[in-house]
Amino acid sequence: MTEPSNSIGTGEASGDQIASWRDRAVEQLIANGTIISDVVANAMRTVPRQLFIPEVSPQEAYEPFRAVVTKRDEEGNALSSVSDMHVQAFMLEQAAIVPGMNVLEIGSGGYNAALLTELVGPSGTVTTVDIDPYVTDRASRMLNEAGYSRVNVVLGDAEAGVPAYAPYDRILVTMGAWDIPPAWSAQLAKGGRISAALRIRGLHRVITFEQADGYLVSTASKMFGFVAVQGAGAHQAKLLVMRDGEVTLRFDDGTDLDPSLFEGVFETPRVEVWSGAFIGLGEFLDTLQMWLATAFPGFCMVLVDQDRDTGVVAPRNASSAMAVVDAAGNLAYLTTRPATEDGHKALEYGVHAYGPDAARLAESVAEQLRVWSREHRRALGPQYRIYPAGTPDDLLPHGRVVEKAHSRVSISWPQAATAAAGQGLSATPVK
């Protein structure tokens, strides 16, 4: 596509300046290994991203790690956004789209649909769906102005997919989904792929799935955050508010534990254990997070209200931390302290725990930090499989099983069979 003249969002910038910013962004994504194919690079060099996010300047539109919120609710929470170029490039590369494909995008912003149109070519079809008429109207208008009017823009709840244009060779879910509805798998063509922003145990991952024998199996995953899906697929985490709102425990998949177990837990002496497990500055937490989420059924997040913070959850300036609770009324959360590893600055993980048997839980969590450090740090992450709800346990692989409304999500660690067996993680459900 040629650069439109006098287009919205271009401001005073010239076409040459905009092209330079765009090329620089693409080169950054090539340099860090996110863009690995010429077809994705060419699509990102072609589509005028600045036309789809007039909320920021053209130069800001091409900051490759910047997402732009395009709609908020009355409390300021993001309802819709245009994702950053980094995550979009990752999803496009993993989807492996070729000319002639029929692609469904769930969650509309306009820009990604334009990229998909470049990838499928004149013989392919792109459909984008969103539940919010503001979002679909905006996407339609901007796609038309940018020259991509042949995209099918659909207003509707994507829980049911879009049967009118199915089956799809690829389905890209660019909203934060909590589950994989049956319609998405049913509308996938044979040999198709789903690349979904999926929330598992409160952790956000973009996971690409391929079809297998009655289930979906992951081929790649990476930690990214997305605006939560609305409509029938929306999901509310269970919150346990403590100390008059200073501390809240968030259980993404719910919990069967009686909240009264934790009354006064912070009045008990705090136990502190340091694990000897390190993480480098700037190193991703993705495998650490998911390992703890699979190792403990009581995995949750502890949130601190900064306006009420008394320091009971340390470090004092932290607003959240990974945490674990158990049926005995104990609570443990992760903390860090500055350290040096192989001559480089790093952080050492520690555990703070409260409760009647806090020392036992603190040591158990610290040991799993050590297991992660020995077996999974800088290694391949887990494999995810999506099975229909009701699939018997004996058909699932070793690992943690997370129960969803429509599916059972199996999380297994290929190199951790011994550790998993020792932790009792063979098809262990989390409800």
Residues classed as catalytic: 83
Residues 6+ apart with CB under 8 A from 215: 385, 386, 387, 388, 391
Query: What are the strands, taking DSSP E only, across 282-399?
Result: 299-304, 320-325, 331-341, 344-354, 383-388
- The DSSP secondary-structure symbol of 289 reads H
- Residues 269, 212: Cα–Cα separation, whole Å: 50
The alpha-helical segments, DSSP class H, found in 104-202 are 111-120, 133-146, 182-186
Tell which residue, 402, 389, 410, has the closest CA to residue 431: 402
Return phi, psi of residue 323, to 5°: -145, 165
C-alpha dist (Å) from residue 96 to 11, 37, 187, 382? 35, 9, 18, 21
Structure tokens at 236: 């509310």
Tell which residue, 277, 273, 265, 427, has the closest CA to residue 364: 273
